[in-house]
Structure formats: C-alpha cells, structure tokens
Amino acid sequence: MLKVASYNIHKAVGTDRRRNPGRIIEVLNEINADIITLQEADRRFGARAAAIPSLLLEQYSDYRAIPLDVQTDSMGWHGNAILAHKSARIVAHDVFHIPYLEPRGAVMAQIEVHGLDLTIFGMHLDLSGLWRRRQAAAIVKLAQQHGQDRSTILMGDLNEWSASGGCLNDFGRVYNLVECGRSFHSRGPIASLDRIMHCDQLKVIEGGVHDSASARKASDHLPVWAQFSKA
C-alpha cells in the first residue's frame, strides 16, 4: 500500500496570518504519507528561503526534502518541493521550466518505496486558464518521457476551478484523476484546486481531503491524499 499527498502550505502562513512552520509539520505528521508534494514551499522574496527550516523538518518529522540542487536556501523550485519518508530511496530528481505568464516550474523525483518504482511530479499551475493548459501539455509530455519504466503520479495545485474541463481534460487524456474532494479554502472548502493523478500501473484504493483542526489553521489549503496498490 502506498500513500501520497499534496499540500499547498502557503509559505507556512496560516489562516490567522501568522507564519508557523511547526503547524505545517504537525499536519504532515498527521497525514503520514510516503511521499508529499508541496506548493508555496519557499518564501516569496529575498533569498526565497525554505518556509520550513530543514533542521525543523529533520528533527520533528519522518520526512526529508528531496534536494533539487537549484537554490541554496530554498526547499523547492518556484515553490514546488517533494518530501519523501526517510525510509524511501531517492534514485533521481530534476526540475523543469514550463510555459508561463508568471514564473512557474515543475519538479520530478524517481523514488523507490514499498517495492514500487515511482516517478513523482509536483506542480503549481498558473491562474490563467490558457497558460494552465499549455503547462499541462508540457508536463504530460515530460511525465511520459521520465515515467516510461515506472509508475507515475502527478500532484499539485492546478488552480483549476472547473469540475472537469480546462487542464483537467489535458491531464485526463493520459492519466487518471483521483476524486479527493474540495481543498480550498481551508476554513470552508468550496473548490477542488489540489489534485492527484496517476497512470494505469497503479490502482487507487481511496482518496480524500485531510480536514483536521490543525490543517484548517496551518494554511489556506487543505492537503489531499490518495492510497494506491499495484494495478
């Protein structure tokens, strides 16, 4: 059984407008997934330092951030990061430029966990529907190239308010979308902005939104999660 999750942590700024990375770690531990993609994982200005200090993550969670070797103080790439359980083996990782109106990127890691060889993509797509579709097409192409011999999972904040159209159509032609539920806004979820998608080599067992008291305070998004087995 494999459990993955995706979480827009809003730079660790909670719904009370306070920056508190400890609350994010509390939620990560509640989720208890094998792999988690993060969005808005770095500060927006200056050196774009990680929103969760690496020492804090190491000491108080079972996760490690996959080193993307891009920016010294950052956890991610354009705010996208991938966390893996410390028991997982990291085989490879990379970052990708994608078409953008405002700077965006995607991150990828090849990970071995629970006997599964996985390719994981993390993303945070544009607010513009046109650019979202261009980004989706680019990411699908990249995922097909890097996931040929591995089970592939794509996760992130798609910024897609449509229930089935827009970039969901582009991803849906190749990958299966997990029905997780509404994740935004955390105080009263009205939209399924955060999504998990997978290839046919995996069978989804269950998916959902992690809606806890801690999660409702830690960020303006709730995490989404999914459990898989081999198809």
Question: pLDDT tens, 100-156?
Answer: 888 889 999 999 999 999 999 999 999 999 999 999 999 999 999 998 889 999 999
- Cα–Cα distances (Å) from 147 to 89, 132, 135, 199, 218, in that order, read 17, 21, 18, 9, 33
pTM score over 0.85:
yes
- CA Rg, the chain, in Å? 16
- Cα–Cα nearest to 65, from 24, 100, 96: 24
Write down all domains in the chain, each with its CATH number in brackets: 2-230 (3.60.10.10)
Gap between the Cα atoms of 129 and 118, Å rounded: 29
pLDDT in tens, 183-204: 999 999 999 999 999 999 999 9
The overall longest dimension of the chain from CA atoms, in Å, is 45
Q: Cα 85 to chain center, whole Å?
A: 14
- Cα–Cα nearest to 24, from 221, 227, 231, 229: 221
- Cα–Cα nearest to 222, from 212, 230, 198: 212
Gap between the Cα atoms of 87 and 43, Å rounded: 28
Residue 9 DSSP SS3 = coil
Q: Are strands 105-113 and 116-124 parallel, antiparallel or unpaired?
A: antiparallel
